[in-house]
Structure 1
Amino acid sequence: MRTYRLEELGGASGVTLKEEAIPSPAHGQVLLRVRASSINFRDIIIANGWYPLPIPVGRVPFSDGAGEVIEVGHGVKRFAVGDRVLGNFFPNLFGGKYTADTEQWVAHHDGWLTEYKVVDAEAVVAVPEHLSFEEAASLPCAALTAWSAVKGVRAGDTVLTQGTGGVSLFALQLAKAFGAKVVATTSSREKAERLKSLGADHVIDYKASPEWGAAVKELCGGSGVDHVVEVGGPETLTESLKAVALGGHISIVGVLAGVAGGIDFMSLFQSQATLRPTVVGNRLDLEEMLRVFDQHSIKPVIDNVYEFEDLKSAWDHFAARNVFGKVVIRH
């Protein structure tokens, strides 16, 4: 089988394609023919050496993947040969909260950028029938993070999303499924139209309106939004605090705009907002989210699909940060 391994830091140039033997499943495990994987911002910072956890040399990259069960080990009852499955982002977090003992793909186990993979049967879940392998492979990190970020949203609430990356688009789709209104930010008229086609009620160009927090509040009749899905970090959090309603909720998801910058304490205090760091989710969360995807026929937004051999093009396209949706690798 062909497998990519991260041999040295520095981006796609440090990832090497190798020929390896196909593994066999042990007790409680399944062997998968991996059919697709997807790239996350996490994969970029891992390859560049910025990840907060140590990454052993030679790890298989990517936390997200989906495939077909082709062999089951002794004792496996959850799945049978032919079942389609996708991986849980945290392979040993079946319920409850993230702790110091929670394991991650790439940090603690080889990731999904390979043609065949052995995993514990408990670390994967069934793919809804209406999703392709490519679509399913886009879900474990970004979609589940969005699910956790909009948890508690109710019909009639207003949700603010930022940009057109995977988490933000999934948050938009899920918020609309819950009956909420969505205000989205973006940087171009073309992307604004695409956001509206996905259900965004209002779109603000953050380049034309750098102080977009006030514009968001004005759109909400001066009261602000109930929930913010904050993906930018310190730079955008300042505007999110201006946009959020008194006593609203801000889910801290990422630092796509960088870690530089500070927070004005009085703005935070006066907002009376609840700030909640969001770290993907557990397997029960993933299964619950997939039921909603199934019931509402939600399909992920795919920016582009690349072939397994064309990893560098996929990597460079994603790293350029001008995407609308998920970048997927077909295996």
Structure 2
Amino acid sequence: MPSAWQIAPSGPKNWRTLEGLDNLQLSHGVPKPVPGSRQVLVRIKAAGLNARDMMVISRDPIYPIETQPYLSPCADGAGMIEEAGPDSQWRVGDRVVLTPMDWPENKDVPTLEESKGMGAGAIQGTLREYAVVDDDRLVRAPSHLSFAELAALPAAAGTAVNALFYGPQPFKKGMTILAQGTGGVSACVIQIAAAAGATVVATSSADEKLETAKKLGATHVVNYRKTPEWSEEVLRITNGRGVDHVLDVAGAGTVEQSLLSTRHGGLVSVIGFLSDSKQVDLIPLLLFGAKTMRAIFQVRKDMMEKVVDLYEEHQLHPPVAAVYEWKDAKQAFRTLNNQSAIGKIVISVGE
């Protein structure tokens, strides 16, 4: 019988510590689901981890959807179709990437409940061996990528594409983009923006990580440990102008520096809150700089299709920091919690 990692109905509720992992348990003998009309049964081969998954596992109130008992976490995954239901457009043996959220292209941004994000609330996630998935939540997998690489794409590359190509400031070749750190989303931002013709500035806390950022495509790098007021270095690099677009993954601890680094009329995309809370008055920077802040959390299927097209066109490989075996899922989350990995953390569900 199949197995799945599931969240116990009670336990710790703090995603910033490792105590929340006590809620995660491996369950055997899970029934194998059966696909219905326009659905498929996917044998999941790999699941990618995100900071959001730790919040869900811990059932931390900071995540605005209550986690249901015995939920399998994780929104990112890739696998192979094992069975196609009636009227399905897919075939047995197709390699696919799962779209983490249900957001029709012709609709406004849905609420978290409406988007039916995998691995949260009552919607089962990808940290299980089998999943029944609707046809329209699947994207074909590029043939040059492994299952681990495919599982690294949805939230990270999908968020990067959303921020770069679907925002209020259209992407153009020659733009200057700033990426913070070398985690999953930032690494994809560097790769995609550089491949699409942007000049990329990358910040990180370690010179070793900055060397990796250069290999991913960054032209300029800044060590924010050595230069705490890193916006000054960014302005120097850009001859006082500032960058066109900052993708901020840390939140309150960095958003002021992000705005200071952005040109007049530029854009800051807020895509995470990894830093501790900090009180900052952003209004003068926004108002007098005519700058825009946009929050990004969700990914549409057409965005995932653009991810696939970009990674195929440029033959990109998303950076995978580590691949953990099925039985070592908790250790994978410990590594994620350390925030020290370069690229994505992935759990192999079976090749």
User: How would you bin the TM-score normalised by the shorter chain?
Assistant: over 0.9
Partner of 1:4: 5
Which deviations, in whole Å up to 9, do the C-alpha atoms of 1:234-284 show, x marking residues without a partner? 220100111001111111111111333223321221221111111232111
Q: 2:74 aligns with which of 62, 66, 73?
A: 62
Asked if the contact 1:60–1:110 (Cα under 8 Å) also holds between the matched residues in 2, the reply is yes
Partner of 2:94: 83
Asked if the contact 2:47–2:74 (Cα under 8 Å) also holds between the matched residues in 1, the reply is yes
Query: Is 1:325 aligned to residue 330 of structure 2?
Result: no
- Structure 2: segments with no counterpart, 5+ residues: 13-19
Which deviations, in whole Å up to 9, do the C-alpha atoms of 1:65-109 show, x marking residues without a partner? 1110000111112x1000011111113545543213221112241
Asked if the contact 2:33–2:132 (Cα under 8 Å) also holds between the matched residues in 1, the reply is yes
Asked if the contact 2:104–2:301 (Cα under 8 Å) also holds between the matched residues in 1, the reply is yes
Cα 1:90–1:9 shift into 2, 3 Å: farther
Partner of 1:165: 183
Q: 1:213 aligns with which of 231, 235, 241?
A: 231
Which residue type is aligned with residue 202 of structure 1? H
Asked if the contact 2:98–2:154 (Cα under 8 Å) also holds between the matched residues in 1, the reply is yes
| Deviation at residue 52 of structure 1 after TM alignment | 1.3
Partner of 1:247: 265
Partner of 1:136: 150
Query: Is 1:45 aligned to residue 59 of structure 2?
Result: no
Give secondary structure in 2 for the equivalent of 1:170. Answer: helix
Query: Is 1:34 aligned to residue 10 of structure 2?
Result: no
Which residue type is aligned with residue 137 of structure 2? A
Which deviations, in whole Å up to 9, do the C-alpha atoms of 1:107-151 show, x marking residues without a partner? 241000001111111111111111111111111111100111112
Q: Percent identity?
A: 35
CA distance in 2, matches of 1:253, 1:328: 20
Partner of 2:127: 113
Which residue type is aligned with residue 91 of structure 2? A
CA distance in 2, matches of 1:127, 1:219: 38
CA distance in 2, matches of 1:320, 1:234: 19
Moved more, 9-18 or 256-265: 256-265
Moved more, 259-268 or 307-316: 259-268
Q: TM-score, normalised by structure 2?
A: 0.91
Cα 1:239–1:13 shift into 2, 3 Å: same
Which deviations, in whole Å up to 9, do the C-alpha atoms of 1:185-231 show, x marking residues without a partner? 00111111111111111111101111111110111000000111111
Give secondary structure in 1 for the equivalent of 2:115. Answer: coil
Query: Is 1:104 aligned to residue 117 of structure 2?
Result: yes
Cα 1:193–1:92 shift into 2, 3 Å: closer
CA distance in 1, matches of 2:317, 2:108: 27
Asked if the contact 1:93–1:103 (Cα under 8 Å) also holds between the matched residues in 2, the reply is no
Query: Is 1:16 aligned to residue 4 of structure 2?
Result: no
Moved more, 18-27 or 30-39: 18-27
CA distance in 2, matches of 1:128, 1:97: 29
CA distance in 2, matches of 1:176, 1:258: 30
Query: Is 1:281 aligned to residue 320 of structure 2?
Result: no
Which residue type is aligned with residue 55 of structure 2? I
CA distance in 2, matches of 1:205, 1:157: 22
Query: Is 1:313 aligned to residue 331 of structure 2?
Result: yes
RMSD: 1.3
Moved more, 122-131 or 95-104: 95-104
Aligned residues: 330
CA distance in 2, matches of 1:62, 1:197: 29
CA distance in 1, matches of 2:122, 2:107: 19
Query: Is 1:232 aligned to residue 244 of structure 2?
Result: no
- Structure 1: segments with no counterpart, 5+ residues: none
CA distance in 1, matches of 2:205, 2:106: 38
Give secondary structure in 1 for the equivalent of 2:327. Answer: helix
